[in-house]
Structure 1
């Protein structure tokens, strides 16, 4: 079956991440399309903007832009209207409405959301913290962490740690293995900062089998054995009960969904804003 081609132009005076995410979310609803993305980002000259618009016209592309300069917005919107092109101006409606309601003029600074402010440096610090205290490397970090994630192998501890770090949270994690000693620092922590991750045995079995295949090994090993997995999960649950920590079953949850639950459980939703 021949797929229908759709061209989408992302035009921005910054990195174009906002427009890209919207476009990706939209096209993910279709299976039989051949999508071609063209990114014209960090537009600072009128000439480069017009060149992008002319190329988009040649391809009858859909245009999504996040321009903040009044001049560039007018050029893009007028060009698309005059040439019958679809144009989505993502920023202007909300920016203009806020100005109307508050009588405050916007700064109109390109890429303002990505400016190197204190929040940015806090995020870098949190990312470095997550890497330093990943996989139980140094339990001393637990006492300085905002969150400590516990879980058996393949419960998404590391990707979740990094995702939460991107929200300016200092996160450490510890893999749980039966018979392994538990760091004393864990018992010294406020249990409200500890998150126990678990999963359904069958799902974990499939994940670990695929992991073995990726390494070119037999999928049927002690690591992926269902009885062994059940033993590990029971051990983890027993520890969670002793700690009195929050427990989240990550089965069928994306990293984003799990992170949202973590932030909700710990009343940290203020960190889950635009970053």
Structure 2
């Protein structure tokens, strides 16, 4: 036996077989191997997206030929059983990272697993979708850029202190892209507002006296105690009347936020959005 053959025979070989990309097993394996700093001769081979019995058995046969340790991260019951049976029959060392733990979780939670490959990456996609929605809400908050109305999932309209921004951010954390616009009688609406047909438009309104107290509290928090038209009841009623005209013009679904939490308002918006898009 020459030196090359000897080294090949003595090399620790690990076959990672997965019905996804195999990243889970690779991380654990490299963490384990890091505990053996003097181990120089090893080889980790990854076989991702295995979805057939024939393909799996071919890999298992190669593992047998190379005397490899077989590590699997597969969620499918049938393929896991095929791999277990083969390894048991021929004496291959086999570690299944998924099946036993899924069984324990299922027994404790009384919930059946969905047996869907790559489910964790769906979660990652949802995470990035949520991040994108939050960035969208920040970019198009308070009518900063009217272009946002064209691409938003939901457009929120309302006078000052009707909780447009908190609602937008809450919905963004539910992965909805939301653009909002403050309604001020003296400020012309952007022309994009007239092109909202077929889009979910929410109009936030409130009792005038309630709004007055909310605005007064806001001014007090800023150290502005002087008299301002911002908190005058007649002015607030004028703004609310103007808002009603805009709501009618845009076909907005109107929600009264008087003494209502953001969560309650958001739930109404989500229910309406689902009905609207059916």
TM-score bracket for this pair, using the shorter chain length? 0.5 to 0.7
Aligned partners of 1:139 and 1:185 also within 8 Å = yes
Residues 254 and 113 of structure 1: CA distance in aligned 2, closer, same or farther (over 3 Å): farther
- Note the 1:1-275 alignment, pairs <5 A: 95-98=109-112, 117-190=124-197, 192-218=199-225, 220-267=227-274
Distance in 2 (CA, whole Å) between partners of 1:143 and 1:269 is 17
Aligned partners of 1:209 and 1:220 also within 8 Å = no
Question: Under a length normalisation based on structure 2, what TM-score does the superposition of the two structures give?
Answer: 0.57
Distance in 2 (CA, whole Å) between partners of 1:130 and 1:163 is 10
Q: Give 1:189 deviation, angstroms.
A: 1.4
Q: Give 1:220 deviation, angstroms.
A: 3.6
Distance in 1 (CA, whole Å) between partners of 2:128 and 2:214 is 35
Distance in 1 (CA, whole Å) between partners of 2:266 and 2:199 is 16
Of the two, which has the highest radius of gyration? 2
Aligned partners of 2:196 and 2:250 also within 8 Å = no
Unaligned residue ranges in structure 2 (runs of 5+)? 1-99
Offset from partner CA, 1:36-71 (integer Å, 9 cap, x none): xxxxxxxxxxxxxxxxxxxxxxxxxxxxxxxxxx99
Q: Give 1:192 deviation, angstroms.
A: 4.2
Distance in 1 (CA, whole Å) between partners of 2:217 and 2:233 is 14
Distance in 2 (CA, whole Å) between partners of 1:184 and 1:120 is 33
Query: Per the alignment, in what secondary structure is the counterpart of residue 230 of structure 2?
Result: coil
Distance in 2 (CA, whole Å) between partners of 1:206 and 1:159 is 18
Q: Give 1:257 deviation, angstroms.
A: 0.5
Offset from partner CA, 1:6-42 (integer Å, 9 cap, x none): xxxxxxxxxxxxxxxxxxxxxxxxxxxxxxxxxxxxx
Residues 266 and 206 of structure 1: CA distance in aligned 2, closer, same or farther (over 3 Å): same
Query: Per the alignment, in what secondary structure is the counterpart of residue 117 of structure 1?
Result: helix
Residues 269 and 187 of structure 1: CA distance in aligned 2, closer, same or farther (over 3 Å): closer
More moved, 132-141 vs 187-196: 187-196
Distance in 2 (CA, whole Å) between partners of 1:231 and 1:269 is 30
Distance in 2 (CA, whole Å) between partners of 1:114 and 1:232 is 47
Distance in 1 (CA, whole Å) between partners of 2:192 and 2:115 is 51
Structure 1 runs of 4+ off > 2 angstroms?
Answer: 91-99, 104-107, 112-116
Residues 96 and 192 of structure 1: CA distance in aligned 2, closer, same or farther (over 3 Å): same
Q: Give 1:126 deviation, angstroms.
A: 0.5
Q: Give 1:105 deviation, angstroms.
A: 7.7
Aligned length: 178
Offset from partner CA, 1:175-195 (integer Å, 9 cap, x none): 010121111101011254111
